[in-house]
Amino acid sequence: MRRLLALSAAASLAAASAFATVSAASAAPAAPTITSPIASLDTVGPDVTIAGTLAVPSGYDYVRVQWRANSAVVEECFQGLSPGETTFSCTSAVPTPGVYTVVAQHSDVAEPGEGDWSADSNAVTVRVGSTDTATITNFTSFSNEWSSRTITVSGTGPAFGAVAIDIRYYPGDAPEQTASFCTDTVIPATGEWSCTGTSPSWGYVYFIAYGTTVVGLETVPGSYDDEIGGDVLLPAPTSSYVLGPASIQITTQ
């Protein structure tokens, strides 16, 4: 009877050990860590490299990097690691302009399925801009007329970037002058911008648009992107009459 009990106990220990071994092998691996970029990135490039480390390599290690927008995966890349390798570097094509959450996951099986990936790594925010040039769209080319020196200029530009408007004007007989007129950041979803400034003088003026991308690059280095012109009209004169018993007073503005 004692021998049977001893065999039964040994069998139970063996079964428990085997169960523990199977459970350990089938458990999801620890999440990796993204080390580059550290927390966020602005880019206008065609691709981005995401790098990081594994907590515990197994010899059959795969890493996938996912770009997500509103929890949906829009782009991903995969990398297989050599036995014992603890670092990864995965280059992804960059999606269309927008704000994305980028995470990495680790698998320790040779051909991972959807249930074989770890939890997400730390998340990195990547803001993808565009290199679109700035355009002025609310006025025609060079035949505009404005009845006020305060003018609103609007158009399209590089997503997540900015647009700066300069004005060229001709004060009397003085040489041509250039001054900053107004600036605006570009609305990412629509690519639109709008800003208001005040002309330093009446008469003929040029408005010149410069686009700057999200990473601070001029879309057309050393040159402007778009230009319009027109006349800032002097206000029409007004007259008032005061009639007195023996005189007429005329005031003209």
CATH among 3.40.50.720, 3.30.70.20, 3.30.43.10, 2.60.40.10 for 27-128:
2.60.40.10
The domain segmentation of the chain, as residue ranges, is: 27-128, 135-232
CATH among 2.60.40.10, 3.40.50.1820, 3.40.50.720, 2.40.160.40 for 135-232:
2.60.40.10
Give 10-residue mean pLDDT values along the chain (253 residues).
Answer: 39 42 60 96 97 89 96 96 93 96 94 92 97 96 96 97 96 89 95 97 95 93 94 78 55 50
| The pLDDT value given to residue 8 | 44
Q: What is the 3-state secondary structure (H, E, C) of the chain?
A: CHHHHHHHHHHHHHHHHHHHHHHHHHCCCCCCEEEECCCEEEECCCEEEEEEECCCCCCCCEEEEEEEECCEEEEEEEEECCCCCCEEEEEEECCCCEEEEEEEEEECCCCCCHHHCCCCCCCEEEEECCCCCCEECCCCCCCEEECCCEEEEEEECCCCCEEEEEEEECCCCCCCEEEEEEEEECCCCCCEEEEEEECCCCEEEEEEEEEECCCCCECCCCCCCEEEEEEECCCCCCEEEEECCCCEEEEEC
Does residue 165 contact residue 207 with C-beta atoms inside 8 Å? Answer: yes
As a whole number of angstroms, the distance between CA 89 and CA 50 comes to 6
| Intrachain domains 27-128 and 135-232 with the same fold | yes
| The pLDDT value given to residue 219 | 87
What is the model's pTM?
0.77
Does residue 36 contact residue 127 with C-beta atoms inside 8 Å? Answer: no
| The pLDDT value given to residue 91 | 97
As a whole number of angstroms, the distance between CA 73 and CA 134 comes to 31
Bond before 37 cis per omega within 30 degrees = yes
